[in-house]
Amino acid sequence: MKGKHSGVQRRFLEKNPRALYSVCGCHSLNLALCDMANTITKSSEFFGTIQRIYTIFANSINRWQVLKENVKGLTLKSLSTTRWESRVDSIKPIRTQLVDVIKALQQVRDSDKDPKIQSEAKSLEKYEVGEFEFLVQIVIWYEILSNVNVVRKKLQSNDVVLDVAINEVDKLIKYFKNYREVWLSKAFDEAREIANEIGIDAGFPQKRVIHRKKQFDETSSEEEVTFSPEEDLKANYFLCIIDQAILKTLDEKDLKSCCYLLQDALKYKEESGVDANELYLELKLIETFLSSHIVSPFDALNNIKRLGHFPNAINAYKVLLTIPVTVASAKEAFQN
């Protein structure tokens, strides 16, 4: 559908040069997840471990049989390289059947004739899956991806409308805000339960603290702050990931910038459907006049029409309300 050179987008623009290309809502979720996961090196390494677990069994018929003998429920799946929200399907079998997966790795370690495979199975069992930090990460990512996947399915339904889409995304953001404040401690508790079940130490390995010799002009207040492993995981992993998912409200500078971007997007032959400065002033005024129980863009547009004298804001809302939420079903129809 993107096809800006010779595809559908180009054909639309030939009819109406001011038509806006809109990324599918599900694709936007996918990009957000991609940013969340790629922000932190540990996160990339975690997904690399998930893929290694699948690969060690999938690359051999005999090892896959070992997996099937030990893991009776959900089968392992390869990571999707494009649909990040679908990665929950790769994490879920490991998260819910971790004891059985470890047994399968142990059997491969003890029975496979290839020393390289034996070493890989031992490494996964002892030093990746067998680490408490991995357990915390799989609990965190399973929770995140499961909730995003629910929203993704709703956005892809044939009868989805803008109100529903905005409401679902808003609930997801609120969930992440709450998740940021309270859920990490729950994730640690859940990881400890899993650690006790599989018989590993429910804690982080203690690293030796290296004391740097102070220079003659340094004071005690200039000493480096050291984090415990738990604090480090929270500050430099968990919060960094979650903050990528929480949308922030626009300040006045950003709002004015967005007004100019919309003016440029709707410009054709030096004329635009909105005036950026007037739109900015209208939006600031509307904020004080709109009813407090506005729950959707449709309600906002109807109220703005009743207020009158806000032509730029009305045009902006009309553009918003004609942008498709999802292109999934349209893409299927076009390809068929």
Question: For 248-258, what is the mean pLDDT?
Answer: 79
User: pLDDT by residue (tens digit) across 48-89?
Assistant: 999 999 999 999 999 999 999 999 999 999 998 777 777 889
Confidence band for 332, pLDDT divided at 50, 70 and 90 = very low
Which has more pLDDT, 306 or 3?
A: 306
Global pTM reads: 0.71
- Please state, for a pLDDT cut of 90, what percent of the chain lies above it: 33
CA distance 176 to 231: 19
The per-residue pLDDT for 250 is: 65
Contact 17, 270 (CB under 8 A): no
Residue 221: CB partners within 8 Å, gap ≥ 6? none
Residue 222 pLDDT = 45
Q: Please provide the average confidence, as pLDDT, over all residues in the chain.
A: 82
Give backbone dihedrals phi and psi of 272, rounded to 5 degrees, phi first. -130, 155
- Tokens of residue 61, six digits: 């018929």
**pLDDT for position 100:** 95
Query: What is the DSSP pairing of strand 271-272 with strand 267-268?
Result: antiparallel
Burial of 191 (0-12, 13-18, 19+ CB in 10 A): buried
pLDDT of residue 176: 80
Scanning the chain, the segments in alpha helix (DSSP H) are: 8-15, 25-38, 41-58, 61-70, 88-96, 98-111, 115-123, 132-155, 162-198, 229-233, 239-245, 252-265, 276-289, 297-307, 311-321, 328-335
Q: For the chain, give every domain's residue range.
A: 25-205+224-245, 249-335
Model pLDDT, residue 67:
96
Give the pLDDT of residue 210: 56
User: Which one has a higher pLDDT value, 232 or 191?
Assistant: 191
47-61, 99-113, 144-158, 241-255: segment of lowest average pLDDT = 241-255
